[in-house]
Amino acid sequence: MFGFILWLFLLFLCWPLALLALVMYPLIWLLLLPLRLLGIGVEAVFELLRAIVMLPARVLGGGRR
């Protein structure tokens, strides 16, 4: 909701810039999508490594209760 109000404010101040932002937003989102997917993959690898390192402690009874 805040983003929409900000865009309306920009539309009031400078409508060509607001229309350009409206057109460019999907294109920028598509360009950043591979980086987001890469971030999800890196986070999954770190979670796997954390699980492997913490496995002996969990087996010995140091897990969450």
pLDDT at 34: 95
Q: Take residue 48 and report the two structure tokens written for it.
A: 């796997």
pLDDT at 63 over 90: no
Q: Domain ranges for the chain, please list them.
A: 2-59
User: Which residues, other chains included, contact 19 with Cβ-Cβ below 8 Å and sequence gap of 6+?
Assistant: 11
Buried/exposed code over 8-19 (b: 16+ C-beta within 10 A; e: otherwise): eebeeeeeeebe
* pLDDT tens for each residue of 19-61: 999 999 999 999 999 999 999 999 999 999 999 999 888 888 8
pLDDT at 59: 86
pTM over 0.85: no
